[in-house]
C-alpha cells in the first residue's frame, strides 16, 4: 500500500472538498493530518492517485505530491482514535454520493479529519459504496442527526452516526429480533393464513409493530385466533422461512470474528431454532407454542417475550458472557424492539417502522443485513 502526501496551494473549502469527494472515496483511506492544506491518500492503485491529481487541477488548486516511505506514515493510532465521531455512509449500487454532504457538515461546524472506504474497490463506481467519515467533535453531532436523516431520505442511502469508540475492535454481544429482521415475514401472520384468519391477524400485527397497541395484549389476542390449528402447519411454515438478504453472510462474518449472537424474539422458538440451524446463531430466546393433541391451544408456555423481557435477556446474556453493556448491539424493526435498542451500546433499526427509525440511535433503511458490518466498521 502506497501513501501519497499532497501539499495544496490553498485550503480546501467545503465546495472544493465536495467536488473532490468522489475521487477521495476511491482510495483506501485519506487523512487530513495537519490542516486543510494537506492530505494523505493511501491506495495501491496509481490510477486513483492520478485521478485525484486531475480533479485538483480542475479545481485550479496547485499541488505537490510525494510518496511517503513506510516509516514516515504514522500508523501508531488507528483512525477511530484520531477522531471523536464516525459517520458511516452506505450507498446501494449506482446511487451517487450526496452532492451536499460536506455542506451539511460545514453548517454544523463539524470538521472532517479522515475517511476510509469499507466496501471493495470499484473504480467504475457501479457497486455498493461504504465509507467512514471521521469527524472532529461528537458534542457537535447532536444537531447533525436530523440533517443526516433528511439527506439520507433524499438520496435513498444510509447514513449512521456514532462515537468513534464504537469502532474499537472487541468481542460483542449482538442480539437480533427475528420476524422482519432476520426473516422477511411475520411468522404469526403466516400461521394465521393457514388458520384462515390471515388478514385479521396481519392487521393487528402491523399495528402492534408500529406501537399502536400493547404488545402483550395484542399477542394473546392473535394467539387465540390460532387455536385448533393443526401442528403440522408449523413445520410447513418453518420449511419456507424467507431469509433477509445478507443474513447468512452477516452471521458467517460475526461468527468468524468471535462475536456472541442471540435471537431475542417475540415470535416462536421453533422457527428461531430452525433459523439458527441455517445461519448459525449462538442462542435463542422466543415464545414456545403450546400444543395439545397435535393442535395449537392458542397459548404459549412460559413467560411472553415482550419488550421488557428482551431488555432483561440482553442484560443477562451480556453479564453471563462477560461483555460490557456498552459492547452490545441490538437490531430490530418493531416498536417492541425500541427498549432493547435503547439499552444496547448500539441500537440499530433495520428497515424499521417509522417510529422506530426516528427513535433508534442508528438506522439501516436501504442496505441489506450485511450493512451492519459497515456500521460496526468491518470492511469487506
How many percent of the chain have pLDDT more than 70? 94
Domain boundary among the residues 121, 141, 165 is at: 165
User: ∠ CA(301), CA(304), CA(310), 5° rounding?
Assistant: 135
Active site positions, annotated: 177, 179
User: ∠ CA(72), CA(73), CA(76), 5° rounding?
Assistant: 115
Full domain range(s) for residue 52: 2-165
129 falls within a domain: yes
**Residue 251: how many other CB atoms lie within 10 Å:** 23
Give the tens place of pLDDT for each residue, 262-296: 999 999 999 999 999 999 999 999 999 999 999 99
- 182 and 256 both lie in a single domain: yes
- 281 and 361 both lie in a single domain: yes
pLDDT above 90 (res 374): yes
Give the tens place of pLDDT for each residue, 57-79: 999 999 999 887 654 445 545 66
**What is the CATH number for 236?**
3.40.50.1000
Distance CA 103, CA 226 (A): 54
- 243 and 328 both lie in a single domain: yes
380 falls within a domain: no
Give the tens place of pLDDT for each residue, 83-113: 889 999 999 988 888 989 999 999 998 989 8
Buried b (16+ CB within 10 A) or exposed e, 309-334: bbbbbbeebbeebebeeebbbbbbbb
pLDDT score for 157: 95
- What is the value of pTM for the model shown? 0.91
**What is the CATH number for 40?**
3.30.70.260
Q: How far is CA 115 from the centre of its chain?
A: 18
- 267 and 352 both lie in a single domain: yes
124 falls within a domain: yes
- 146 and 232 both lie in a single domain: no
Contact between 260 and 280 (Cβ < 8 Å):
no
Give the tens place of pLDDT for each residue, 164-211: 877 778 889 999 999 999 999 999 999 999 999 999 999 999 999 999
Amino acid at each position: 500500500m502506497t501513501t501519497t502526501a499532497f501539499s495544496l496551494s490553498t485550503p480546501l473549502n467545503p465546495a472544493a472538498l465536495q467536488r473532490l469527494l468522489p475521487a477521495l472515496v476511491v482510495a483506501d483511506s485519506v487523512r487530513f493530518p495537519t490542516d486543510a492544506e494537506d492530505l494523505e491518500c493511501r491506495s495501491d492503485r496509481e490510477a486513483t492517485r492520478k485521478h485525484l491529481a486531475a480533479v485538483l487541477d480542475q479545481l485550479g488548486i496547485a499541488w505537490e505530491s510525494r510518496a511517503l516511505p513506510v516509516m514516515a506514515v504514522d500508523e501508531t493510532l488507528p483512525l477511530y482514535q484520531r477522531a471523536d465521531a464516525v459517520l458511516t455512509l452506505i450507498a446501494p449500487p449506482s446511487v451517487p454520493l450526496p452532492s451536499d454532504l460536506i455542506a451539511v457538515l460545514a453548517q454544523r461546524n463539524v470538521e472532517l479529519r479522515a475517511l476510509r472506504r469499507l466496501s471493495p474497490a470499484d473504480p467504475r463506481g457501479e457497486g455498493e459504496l461504504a465509507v467512514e467519515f471521521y469527524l472532529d467533535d461528537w458534542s457537535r453531532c447532536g444537531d447533525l442527526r436530523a440533517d443526516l436523516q433528511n439527506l439520507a431520505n433524499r438520496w435513498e442511502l444510509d447514513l449512521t452516526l456514532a462515537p468513534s469508540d464504537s469502532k474499537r475492535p472487541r468481542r460483542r454481544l449482538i442480539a437480533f429480533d427475528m420476524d422482519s429482521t432476520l426473516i422477511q415475514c411475520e411468522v404469526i401472520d403466516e400461521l394465521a393464513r393457514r388458520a384462515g384468519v390471515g388478514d385479521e391477524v396481519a392487521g393487528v400485527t402491523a399495528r402492534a409493530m408500529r406501537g399502536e397497541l400493547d404488545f402483550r395484549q395484542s399477542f394473546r389476542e392473535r394467539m387465540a385466533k390460532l387455536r385448533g390449528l393443526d401442528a403440522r402447519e408449523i413445520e410447513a411454515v418453518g420449511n419456507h422461512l424467507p431469509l433477509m438478504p445478507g443474513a447468512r453472510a452477516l452471521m458467517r462474518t460475526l461468527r468468524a470474528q468471535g462475536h456472541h449472537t442471540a435471537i431475542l424474539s417475540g415470535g416462536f422458538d421453533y422457527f428461531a431454532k430452525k433459523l439458527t440451524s441455517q445461519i448459525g446463531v449462538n442462542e435463542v430466546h422466543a415464545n414456545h407454542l403450546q400444543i395439545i393433541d397435535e393442535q395449537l391451544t392458542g397459548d404459549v408456555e412460559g413467560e411472553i417475550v415482550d419488550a421488557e423481557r428482551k431488555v432483561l435477556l440482553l442484560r443477562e446474556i451480556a453479564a453471563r458472557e462477560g461483555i460490557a453493556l456498552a459492547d452490545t448491539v441490538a437490531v430490530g424493526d418493531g416498536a417492541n424492539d425500541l427498549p432493547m435498542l435503547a439499552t444496547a451500546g448500539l441500537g440499530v433499526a433495520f428497515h424499521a417502522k417509522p417510529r422506530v427509525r426516528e427513535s433508534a440511535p442508528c438506522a439501516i433503511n436501504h442496505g441489506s443485513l450485511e450493512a451492519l458490518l459497515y456500521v460496526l466498521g468491518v470492511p469487506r
